[in-house]
């Protein structure tokens, strides 16, 4: 089983249909398949063997996809890194994944060159690098079939979590990604006629699997935007015949302000909200104005999708993340791993073909992530209603998703604590029109110290990738705490949002 | 994971939509779910425990479905037997499956009373039996949720193969059937608006998994006929009550004989053929006349149906298609080594749809799998460059005549190109001189005739001499399995007489 067979199959079914569109550029399935074949055989010529990790660290593009499938076709493992990573974070992951070859963009070349001495990095593939992707393709051959892999072999590694401790590289298998893509295609009733708008980064599980792999499997077309840009999104919606739209709640709010919404959306048939659950009012208004229900699902890098809030409009339960997807089991367990009855709150645990194999070279992280019998622990607290609809009560991991990137508050808080002025702090995500969520820091200064936002920001920028650096700093006398002394982020959010 | 959750989901999405329609009478999803809950709780009251074997031996009916999902919801195992079994076969399987309860028809009662003492059946459920379905349901309650089972617990047992030697009871798990039902619903783009014609028996993998379970998973409706009846099939299609047509090749061949086929198709959007290889000529004519491709799948009881699918995206005539998502196929030689793409060998399968094993038959189970877990289909095939699978023939149907291999399918394909032929089947008959000799059984379309000599001359122009049948036997009708497959072993018996 090789995940890239989905691309081969689509190229066989619909050779002339567009697989990827990107401002003015259109790549057909035949072309994409041919390019990946050339990349695969080119990589093999420069010594890439099945099972070898090969890196991708670049913004979304048609080349990103061709390179990804090239790696897979060669039987190698695609290690997909956020193009926003810099400095130590990038170095840590490149070294941790033992990357010998990486595909990147010229803008990152200088930084990549620095990694060559320290780790095992040998070849940087980009226009100004050791080898351009075009030269690599010229070395290869257009006719090739993906190398067969065991279903349990790793297809891709996606990093999650912060830089504290050993990195968590989620190993997803060919079977796992294939299953996820297929599940989503089923729920979204995807066909070859669909055009999916994708401005979420391909290094992230959502962009890579939910949008990209699932579209390729069903022979649809990906309209790619390198980053989120409201004006571009509107432009593409108006002119691009988009049928499937994936966005965070705030984008929907923004679109609702358009007077001629329905006309703007054209043939759009499917909407999906990618982050925290939607406010009932928005789903209702959207449905009234466009006739489309906004579907939701719950998933994480380690297992996705887990639940799906069904598109049967009348059965969409607002505030819930839906029912478990076919073939995936979900249990609510207590802190000791005991199964809890329906109606009780506990940790959401998952078992199924879509669950990760392990964290790369991190046996401790892996064993902490699983209960016996292959049940992965989400770290989220949830509850089932009598109809099997799951609601998320609390995210133990406090994950913030900003512009499609994951930010772990703990990592940002640790950086803040290393500043001499900070007594106490809490980092949370607040709804943001542009970014989905924006990173906000609440800070209690040490007595007698004053805090300059600008100085703090500059300080953090030397320590964190810029997307992790809080956009706002709010000084407080104290932070709300539980009787046990734990900072209550839910309270901060409530207070802040309700004024 | 419990397969019956698919019913519960559909009942919560579409409580008032019909799940089954028979003779104009409809039962809603809420109705079926409630009835199944009553039966499940009734069975539990009667002492049924998760993992117990409960049999079903009856023709398709709404009651069959109620009992099936009742059994599953209680966490028990549904052993689905053909209602057409001879008395001896029936006794053999009932005893092999160690059934606690059996849901059946009145006609089986007297024979069951003869054996119940020795076979340990506690309760026979049928009118005039120990209990009626109604009496079980009266003891139960409307509200119930399916008992949770492990994904690798057996959900159903389907018997396959002949009656020679130990019976082969294929143990399909909750995950097996769920995987296949999901695959079929995905491939066929099934929705809650579909109405699937079902005249194929629920005890068979095709009726039970491909049609019934896939339809219930996607909240569609089953248009039920107790058996194939050309007039009634045409009637249902004409009224527009059918969107999906499932049949075996011979049924398509018979429908093609209708002069007004083009005008009676109603709302049919999808056609599927399984259970036997579909002659190229039939696909071509059907497409020409109705505009619809006949999709094909390849599957076995042991694979809970779907292994490959010949896609409507690109139907490759003569092939059985590409593998369905999540299922892998390898072509292997007789030592279990993989052969190169393009070469012939045994079709071997790996996936979450592959059975757990044969019930109480460790020898057959061991023979069915290679050590690395790949299931051996017993079918001979090869892959094209595009990854499409072609079946050459059943390994065991291979005819060896004068040291040459003859694949009956190839000869049948050649015979079908003659317009006079309604149906044909080619078998090998023991022969002193040749080891086996090739013999063709034929039925001719009404008003047509063809002489053996004409046919022989015609075939000689298309096939190597050793493949051309030595004998031609005209029959009025072919012996058939309940699923409509031509029974070659019966033909061989006819020959002996």
| Among the partner residues A145, A186, A217, nearest to B182 by beta-carbon distance | A186
What average pLDDT score do residues A345-363 get? 94
Torsion angles phi and psi, residue B326, rounded to 5: 85, -5
Domain range summary for chain A, segments of one domain joined by +: 5-211, 400-497
Write down the pLDDT at residue B31. Answer: 97
Tell me how far apart the alpha carbons of residues A293 and B345 are, in angstroms, rounded to a whole number: 50
Write down the pLDDT at residue A340. Answer: 92
Residue B244 has pLDDT above 60, yes or no: yes
Residue A486 has pLDDT above 70, yes or no: no
Q: Which residue of B has its CA nearest to A179?
A: B326
Whether B310 is in a domain gets the answer yes
Cβ contacts of A373 within 8 Å, gap of 6 or more: A351
Q: Which residue has the higher pLDDT, A375 or B90?
A: A375
Q: Annotate B94-142 with DSSP letters as a single string.
A: HHHHT-SEEEE-GGGHHHHHHHHHHHT--EEESTTSSB-HHHHHHHS-S
Write down the pLDDT at residue B217. Answer: 96
Residue A318 has pLDDT above 80, yes or no: no
Residue written as tokens 């705490």? A481
User: Residue B189 has which token pair?
Assistant: 């783009």
User: Under an 8 A CB cutoff, do A189 and B189 touch?
Assistant: yes
Name the pLDDT band for B483 (thresholds 50, 70, 90): low
Q: Annotate B408-453 with DSSP letters as a single string.
A: HHHHHHHHHTSTTEEEEEEEEEEETTTEEEEEEEEEE-TT----HH
Identical fold for domains A5-211 and A400-497, yes or no, is: no
Cβ contacts (< 8 Å) between A13 and chain B: which residues?
311, 313-314
At B284-305, the pLDDT tens digits run 889 999 999 888 888 899 999 9
Q: End of a domain among B394, B424, B441?
A: B394
Q: Which of A122-131, A263-272, B248-257 has the lowest mean pLDDT?
A: B248-257
Cβ contacts (< 8 Å) between A353 and chain B: which residues?
326, 352
* Same-domain pairing of B21 and B64: yes
- Compute the nearest-CA separation of B313 from chain A (Å): 6
> Mutation test of the interface with chain B: which of A177, A217, A326, A354, choosing the one with the most B Cβ atoms within 10 A?
A326
Cβ contacts (< 8 Å) between A192 and chain B: which residues?
313
What average pLDDT score do residues B446-473 get? 89
Distances (CA, A) of A397 to A39, A148, A347, A400, B49: 38, 37, 12, 9, 41
Tell me how far apart the alpha carbons of residues B386 and A27 are, in angstroms, rounded to a whole number: 21
Write down the pLDDT at residue A117. Answer: 74
The domain defined by A400-497 carries CATH number 3.40.190.10? no
Q: Find, among A222, A44, A253, the residue nearest to A139 by Cα.
A: A44
* Same-domain pairing of B402 and B390: no
- Compute the nearest-CA separation of B353 from chain A (Å): 11
* Same-domain pairing of B279 and B163: no
Domain count, chain B: 3
Q: Which of A207-216, A486-495, B20-29, B67-76 has the lowest mean pLDDT?
A: A486-495
At B194-221, the pLDDT tens digits run 999 998 889 989 899 999 999 999 999 9
At A86-126, the pLDDT tens digits run 888 888 899 999 999 999 999 999 999 989 876 689 999 99
Is A177 within 8 Å of A151 (Cβ atoms)?
no
Q: Which residue has the higher pLDDT, A412 or A133?
A: A133
> Is A178 in the B-facing interface, judged by CB distances under 8 Å?
yes
Peptide bond into A215 cis (omega under 30): no
Q: Which helix (H) or strand (E) holds B382?
A: strand B375-383
DSSP code at position A446 = P
What average pLDDT score do residues B307-327 get? 85
User: Residue B384 has which token pair?
Assistant: 């094209």
At B259-293, the pLDDT tens digits run 888 888 889 999 998 755 677 788 888 999 999 98
Q: Is B477 exposed, middle or buried (0-12, 13-18, 19+ CB in 10 A)?
A: exposed
Write down the pLDDT at residue B374. Answer: 96
Number of residues that make up chain B = 497
CATH number reported for the structural domain that contains residue B137 in this entry: 3.40.50.12780
As a whole-number percent, the residues of chain B with pLDDT over 70 amount to 97
Q: Which residue of B has its CA nearest to A312?
A: B13
Is B149 within 8 Å of B172 (Cβ atoms)?
no
- Compute the nearest-CA separation of B6 from chain A (Å): 9
Residue written as tokens 């512009």? A403
* Same-domain pairing of B63 and B121: yes
| Among the partner residues A9, A175, A351, nearest to B326 by beta-carbon distance | A175
User: Under an 8 A CB cutoff, do A9 and B175 touch?
Assistant: no
Distances (CA, A) of B267 to A210, B313, B397: 34, 20, 38
Name the pLDDT band for B14 (thresholds 50, 70, 90): very high
CATH number reported for the structural domain that contains residue B422 in this entry: 3.30.300.30
Is A439 within 8 Å of A471 (Cβ atoms)?
yes
Q: Which residue has the higher pLDDT, A143 or A316?
A: A143
> Mutation test of the interface with chain A: which of B8, B186, B338, choosing the one with the most A Cβ atoms within 10 A?
B186
Q: End of a domain among B394, B421, B441?
A: B394
Is B46 within 8 Å of B145 (Cβ atoms)?
no
Share the mean pLDDT of chain A. 89
> Is A371 in the B-facing interface, judged by CB distances under 8 Å?
no
Whether B188 is in a domain gets the answer no
Q: Is A364 exposed, middle or buried (0-12, 13-18, 19+ CB in 10 A)?
A: exposed
Cβ contacts of A213 within 8 Å, gap of 6 or more: A3, A6, A177, A180, A181
Write down the pLDDT at residue B110. Answer: 84
Range of the domain at B152: 5-170
pTM of the full predicted structure?
A: 0.84
Cβ contacts (< 8 Å) between B374 and chain A: which residues?
none
Write down the pLDDT at residue B163. Answer: 43
Name the pLDDT band for A33 (thresholds 50, 70, 90): very high
* Same-domain pairing of B111 and B58: yes
At B332-370, the pLDDT tens digits run 998 999 999 999 999 999 999 999 999 999 999 999 999
Q: Annotate A296-330 with DSSP letters as a single string.
A: EEEEETTEEEEEEE-SSGGG--TTS-BEEPTT-EE
> Mutation test of the interface with chain B: which of A9, A324, A354, choosing the one with the most B Cβ atoms within 10 A?
A9
Q: Report chain B residues touching chain A, CB-CB < 8 A.
A: 1, 5, 8-9, 12-14, 151, 175, 178-179, 182, 185-186, 189, 191-192, 217, 311, 313-314, 322, 325-326, 328, 341, 350, 352, 386-387
At A58-69, the pLDDT tens digits run 999 999 999 999
Q: Find, among A6, A351, A177, A151, the residue nearest to B372 by Cα.
A: A151
Q: Is A119 exposed, middle or buried (0-12, 13-18, 19+ CB in 10 A)?
A: middle
* Same-domain pairing of B383 and B409: no
How many CA atoms within 13 Å lie on the side-chain side of A470? 27
> Is A344 in the B-facing interface, judged by CB distances under 8 Å?
no
Whether B180 is in a domain gets the answer no
Is B374 within 8 Å of B350 (Cβ atoms)?
yes
Write down the pLDDT at residue B195. Answer: 96
Cβ contacts (< 8 Å) between A9 and chain B: which residues?
322, 387
User: Residue B342 has which token pair?
Assistant: 């393009």
Q: Annotate A34-75 with DSSP letters as a single string.
A: HHHHHHHHHHHHTT--TT-EEEEE--S-HHHHHHHHHHHHTT
Is A429 within 8 Å of A439 (Cβ atoms)?
yes
What average pLDDT score do residues A255-264 get? 87
At A151-162, the pLDDT tens digits run 999 999 999 865
Residue B222 has pLDDT above 80, yes or no: yes
- Compute the nearest-CA separation of B265 from chain A (Å): 25
- Compute the nearest-CA separation of A117 from chain B (Å): 42
Q: Is B390 exposed, middle or buried (0-12, 13-18, 19+ CB in 10 A)?
A: middle
The radius of gyration computed from the CA coordinates of chain A, to the nearest angstrom, equals 22
User: Under an 8 A CB cutoff, do A327 and B182 touch?
Assistant: yes
* Same-domain pairing of B376 and B419: no
* Same-domain pairing of B166 and B17: yes
Cβ contacts of A363 within 8 Å, gap of 6 or more: none
Torsion angles phi and psi, residue A245, rounded to 5: -125, 130
- CATH number for A5-211 (one of 3.40.1350.10, 3.40.50.980, 1.10.10.10, 2.20.28.90): it is 3.40.50.980
Residue A484 has pLDDT above 60, yes or no: no
Tell me how far apart the alpha carbons of residues B94 and B96 are, in angstroms, rounded to a whole number: 6
* Maximal C-alpha separation, chain B: 69
What average pLDDT score do residues B484-488 get? 79
Cβ contacts (< 8 Å) between A11 and chain B: which residues?
none
């Amino acid at each position: 089983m090789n995940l890239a067979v989905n691309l081969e199959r689509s190229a066989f079914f619909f050779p002339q249909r567009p697989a990827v569109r990107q401002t003015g550029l259109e790549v057909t399935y035949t072309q994409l398949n041919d390019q990946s074949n050339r990349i695969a055989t080119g990589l093999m010529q420069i010594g890439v063997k099945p099972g070898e990790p090969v890196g991708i660290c670049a913004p979304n593009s048609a080349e990103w996809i061709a390179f990804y499938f090239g790696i897979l076709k060669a039987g190698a493992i695609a290690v997909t890194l956020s193009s926003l990573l810099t400095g130590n974070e990038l170095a840590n992951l490149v070294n941790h994944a033992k990357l010998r070859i990486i595909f990147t963009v010229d803008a990152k070349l200088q930084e990549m060159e620095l990694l060559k001495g320290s780790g095992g990095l040998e070849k940087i593939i980009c226009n100004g690098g050791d080898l351009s992707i075009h030269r690599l393709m010229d070395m290869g051959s257009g006719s090739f079939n993906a190398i067969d892999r065991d279903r349990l072999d790793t297809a891709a590694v996606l990093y999650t979590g912060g830089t504290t401790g050993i990195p968590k590289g989620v190993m997803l298998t060919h079977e796992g990604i294939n299953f996820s893509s297929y599940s989503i295609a089923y729920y979204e009733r995807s066909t070859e006629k669909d055009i999916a708008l994708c401005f979420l980064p391909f290094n992230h599980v959502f962009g890579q699997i939910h949008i990209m792999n699932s579209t390729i499997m069903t022979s649809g077309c990906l309209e790619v935007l390198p980053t989120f840009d409201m004006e571009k999104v509107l432009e593409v919606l108006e002119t691009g015949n988009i049928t499937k739209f994936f966005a965070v709640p705030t984008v929907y709010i923004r679109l609702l302000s358009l007077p001629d919404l329905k006309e703007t959306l054209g043939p759009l048939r499917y909407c999906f909200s990618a982050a925290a659950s939607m406010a009932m009012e928005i789903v209702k208004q959207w449905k009234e104005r466009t006739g489309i229900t906004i579907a939701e699902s719950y998933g994480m890098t380690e297992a996705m999708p887990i639940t799906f809030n069904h598109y049967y409009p009348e059965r969409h339960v607002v505030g819930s993340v839906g029912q478990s997807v076919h073939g995936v089991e979900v249990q609510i367990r207590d802190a000791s791993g005991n199964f809890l009855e329906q109606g009780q709150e506990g940790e959401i645990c998952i078992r199924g073909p879509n669950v990760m194999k392990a964290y790369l070279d991190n046996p401790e992280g892996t064993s902490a992530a699983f209960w016996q019998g292959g049940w992965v622990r989400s770290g989220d607290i949830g509850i089932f209603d009598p109809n099997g609809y799951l609601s998320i009560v609390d995210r133990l991991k406090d994950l913030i998703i900003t512009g499609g990137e994951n930010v772990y508050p703990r990592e940002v808080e640790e950086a803040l604590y290393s500043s001499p002025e900070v007594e106490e702090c809490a980092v949370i995500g607040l709804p943001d029109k542009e970014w989905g969520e924006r990173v906000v820091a609440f800070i209690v200064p040490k007595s007698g110290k004053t805090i300059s936002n600008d100085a703090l920001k500059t300080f953090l920028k030397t320590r964190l990738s810029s997307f992790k650096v809080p956009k706002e700093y709010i000084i407080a006398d104290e932070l709300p705490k539980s009787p046990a002394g734990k900072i209550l982020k839910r309270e901060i959010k409530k207070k802040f949002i309700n004024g | 994971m419990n397969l019956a959750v698919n019913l519960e989901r559909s009942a919560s999405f579409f409580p008032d939509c019909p799940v089954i329609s028979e003779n104009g009478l409809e039962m809603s999803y809420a109705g079926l779910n409630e009835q199944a809950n009553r039966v499940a709780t009734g069975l539990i009251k009667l002492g049924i425990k998760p993992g117990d074997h409960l049999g079903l031996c009856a023709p398709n009916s709404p009651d069959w479905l109620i009992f099936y999902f009742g059994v599953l919801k209680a966490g028990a195992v549904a052993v689905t037997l053909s209602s057409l079994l001879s008395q001896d076969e029936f006794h053999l399987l009932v005893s092999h499956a160690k059934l606690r309860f059996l849901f059946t028809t009145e006609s089986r009662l007297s024979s069951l009373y003869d054996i119940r003492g020795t076979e340990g059946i506690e309760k026979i459920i049928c009118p005039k039996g120990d209990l009626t379905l109604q009496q079980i349901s009266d003891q139960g309650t409307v509200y119930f949720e399916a008992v949770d089972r492990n994904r690798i617990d057996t959900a159903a047992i389907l018997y396959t193969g002949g009656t020679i030697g130990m019976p082969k009871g294929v143990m399909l798990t909750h995950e097996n059937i769920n995987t296949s039902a999901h695959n079929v619903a995905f491939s066929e783009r099934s929705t809650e608006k579909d109405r699937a014609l079902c005249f194929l028996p629920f005890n068979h993998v095709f009726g039970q998994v491909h049609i019934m379970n896939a339809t219930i998973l996607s909240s569609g409706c089953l248009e039920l006929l107790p058996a194939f009846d050309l007039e009634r099939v045409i009637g249902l299609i004409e009224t527009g009550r059918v969107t999906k047509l499932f049949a075996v090749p011979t049924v398509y061949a018979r429908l093609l004989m209708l002069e007004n086929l083009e005008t009676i198709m109603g709302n049919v959007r999808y056609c599927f053929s399984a259970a036997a290889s579909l002659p190229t000529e039939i696909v071509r004519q059907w497409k020409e006349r109705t505009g619809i491709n006949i999709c094909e799948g390849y599957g076995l009881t042991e694979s809970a149906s779907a292994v490959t699918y010949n896609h409507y995206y690109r139907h490759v005539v003569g092939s059985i298609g590409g593998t369905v998502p999540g299922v892998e196929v390898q072509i292997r030689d007789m030592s279990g080594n993989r052969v190169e793409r393009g070469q012939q060998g045994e079709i071997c399968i790996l996936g979450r749809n592959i059975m757990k094993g044969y019930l109480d038959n460790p020898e057959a189970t061991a023979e069915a799998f290679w050590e690395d877990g790949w299931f051996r289909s017993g079918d001979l095939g090869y892959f094209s460059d595009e990854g499409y699978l072609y079946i050459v023939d059943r390994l065991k149907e291979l005819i060896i005549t004068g040291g040459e291999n003859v694949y009956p399918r190839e000869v049948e394909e050649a015979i079908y190109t003659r317009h006079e032929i309604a149906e044909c089947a080619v078998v090998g008959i023991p022969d002193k001189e040749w080891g086996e000799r090739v013999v063709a059984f034929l039925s001719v379309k009404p008003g047509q005739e063809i002489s053996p000599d004409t046919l022989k001359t015609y075939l000689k122009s298309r096939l190597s001499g050793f493949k051309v049948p030595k004998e031609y036997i005209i029959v009025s009708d072919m012996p058939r399995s309940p699923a409509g497959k031509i029974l070659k072993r019966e033909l061989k018996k006819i020959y002996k007489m």
